Amino acid sequence: MAKAIARLVTLALLLWTPCASDSHWRFVTGVVTDKRGNGLAHAVVQLEDEIRLSVRSYITGDDGRYHFSEVNADIDYHLRARYKMYWSKPHSLSRFDSPKDHDDIRLVIPVD
């Protein structure tokens, strides 16, 4: 009886565990700038998953650059940045976009 239960639990775990081949991953990279194109250090970039409404955050480096890895390519996202009390316009990432569309996305904060 115990062996049968152990087999059922093992089978359930194997079926429940997502396979790496089931998900397609992409990278989202870019820079947060002011209106003049200068990189903004320590801006907060938020990547919001439209299905679960979960948010991942990244704080930019001295050059204003950000990088998100292992972003599920089968989900739509909203990307935006905050610097002090100012926000960039949101940028939509569609699951139908090509991976090249998510390379070096510039988010502009309306400050000088």
**What is d(CA 85, CA 73) in angstroms, rounded to the nearest whole number?**
31
Q: Are 77 and 50 in contact (CB under 8 A)?
A: yes
**Which domains does the chain carry?**
27-108 (2.60.40.1120)
- Helix, strand or coil, per DSSP, at residue 65: strand
Q: What is the mean pLDDT of the chain?
A: 85
- Helix, strand or coil, per DSSP, at residue 11: helix
Q: Is the pLDDT of residue 64 over 60?
A: yes
- State the pLDDT confidence band at 76, using cuts at 50, 70 and 90: very high
Q: Is the pLDDT of residue 20 over 50?
A: no
